[in-house]
Chains A and B, each alone.
Chain A
């Protein structure tokens, strides 16, 4: 009897905690949405802030954000997946591998502002890239590398040994097996790592303030779209931070809504992709 009561009380507490967490989350989302949505307009989304006309727009920041995400991923995804493959499949297990794994894990715990400091000094000054989207992307690459490497490693580890021996037993070489069996089987895990990385890129402010700066203009010519990479450019999160600093809360909340929309959209998209991959692999692969 006592035990039953104890169980019930515990269950109640668990429900309460879950409800509280959920409620908090939804509460924040609703609050941000209500405060920000009214200030979003087509004009706000498609123009850049003009001091002369006294209008506010975030088109430049949206473009910067896309640049930052794409450029960082272009650098970090191949390197991250490559090092995961190396660590799991080629390196001899031992001290060095464990040291590298330990370092990567530690790397992911370092406050982002330290990455910003390093990026500014090393990429910005030593390599002479200055305040630019490229400097920011290189810095962020260092930050998200552990996420991608780790997730890829874990995903590779879950691929059954029997697949590999089956393929090797038919004469396939190591790299061929990695390409045709291991990587496709590990794809959902790899995609998860990439999503987490994008999340970090979208949310990052401290590391970017020092490295990518806060430019918010749109390129004027075709060449400008290329040159943009070596120009200063603030992402949406940077702009949000700056707006808050200047007490422009309407703009800040509006940007927050846009950011939330991006994150939500990305999650839905990737979930869709992962489901597609899984379906292709484990059930009917499209008709007979």
Chain B
């Protein structure tokens, strides 16, 4: 088995008294796509956010257990959150470009991490937009506001924005649930192109999508990880009855 990029050990998360993640132990393979599936409220987003410490923005959220990135404990005292979030980027469910130009959206992250040189930024902007397969559509309007793009374009812009800081891991929380089928297809193709270079963890409600894009799949239920396996095996021979019921649409 290839080396794991991120692994967790007995990860528990509490929102006040609510126990949202229960003893999650998982090994996410490097340069692969891992899908998280499960019914609403089972803790997928919570788990995703705990991988780059975005859960710390929530008042009253408490984390126990370990999360390792390349073997390094991300909740350890030596971990710099800014560096961590540069290495582990995030794409959200609702496309959320900033109210600025397309160029400034992409350049935002690099600027956060200290890139000031104009030529260097130009290069990053073009590279990132190309990687996110949106360059052809926007190359003539870099100085226009990103708010004028279509929903699908906005989401690919957000992916480009996340790629601009050269992350190692991309966390995607239902990145296509707000998009039309054509845009969804484009984003899925994009994920196919990006894997290999990045480790991707994607939350999805769409079984077909999980089957199409991912190498591994984890099934969550009420804060627990019921089953984790290669996508091929999990969808064909689920080991747990609950997994089988979920993927065949019996509940959720």
A→B interface (CB under 8 Å): 160, 162-163, 165-173, 176, 180-181, 184-185, 281-288
Contacts and interface: CB of A to CB of B under 8 A. Distances in A.
B210 to A, nearest CB: 23
A281 B143 CA distance: 11
Contacts of B57: 165, 168
A132 B252 CA distance: 72
A284 B52 contact: no
Nearest to B102: A285
* Most chain B beta-carbon neighbours within 10 Å: one of A163, A166, A184: A166
B53 to A, nearest CB: 10
A170 B143 contact: no
A56 B86 CA distance: 68
* Most chain A beta-carbon neighbours within 10 Å: one of B84, B99, B108, B140: B99
B147 interface: yes
Contacts of B83: 171
Interface stretch (B16-24, B29-37, B118-126, B158-166): B158-166
B225 to A, nearest CB: 23
Contacts of B140: 288
Contacts of B84: 171
Interface residues of B, number: 35
Nearest to A174: B57
Contacts of A176: 112
Nearest to B84: A171
Given A169-B85, A169-B89, A173-B82, A281 B100 contact: yes
B98 A163 contact: yes
A283 B149 CA distance: 11
Contacts of B184: none
Given A163-B99, A180-B108, A281-B99, A168 B54 contact: yes
Nearest to A172: B112
A169 B94 CA distance: 14
Given A180-B108, A185-B99, A281-B100, A169 B144 contact: no
B143 A283 contact: no
Contacts of B94: 162
Contacts of B147: 281-282
Contact of A167 (B101, B108, B141): B108
B96 A165 contact: yes
Given A163-B96, A171-B113, A281 B144 contact: no
A147 B141 CA distance: 39
B41 interface: no
A166 B158 contact: yes
B121 to A, nearest CB: 15
22 contacts: A162-B92, A163-B96, A165-B54, A165-B57, A165-B92, A166-B98, A169-B52, A169-B54, A169-B85, A170-B85, A170-B109, A170-B112, A171-B83, A171-B84, A171-B113, A185-B99, A281-B99, A281-B100, A282-B148, A284-B145, A287-B143, A288-B140
